[in-house]
Amino acid sequence: MRLAQRLSQAKAAEVAARADGRTLVLGADTVVSLEDGLLGKPADEDEARRMLDSLRGRTHEVITGLTLMADDGAWQAQEVCRTPVPMRDYTPQAVGEYLASGAALDKAGAYGIQDQPFDPVDVHKMNGCYANVMGLPLCHLVRLMRRRNLHPATDVPAACQAHTGYRCGIFPEILGTGS
């Protein structure tokens, strides 16, 4: 968790240092945690296969740190989103087909929750933020924005659910009673 926070802060600070003094900057970083280890982006297909084999039929955690900061350094806030992710018991053949697509090499943990037809996550058993696993926990971002008195023009939970097709049960807890 601390690693994701530190990396998100470092990313935001790097961009803020080059900004114009009137900008809010968002830094985000995601790590995949399995037991006591972290799974980054695989270096090659063999490492991707090992990662996917280690995740098969198990639950791991996706952790994203978000840092929103003023580029002058006068204001900063952070959020962390943790999502337990139950993986399907996919077949070695399905892994091989997925690896052949090349999609596994650009993703922490060697998979994308949205990647079809591989469909690695048992979404029906998941109780957490789908958008976090996909790359950016939108409700946590909205909560950060509210700390700066910024409010999106759209209903973010509704838009997220419409886009992902995932019925989210946690957004009321993150955002309060309304979106």
Catalytic one among 20, 29, 53, 106?
Answer: 29
Neighbours of 74 (CB within 10 A): 7
Kind and range of the H or E run holding 116: none
CA 9 to chain centre: 16
Place of tokens 């995949």: 32
Let me know if 71 is a catalytic residue. Answer: no
Contact between residue 78 and residue 9 where contact means Cβ atoms under 8 Å apart: yes
Supply the residues annotated as catalytic: 29
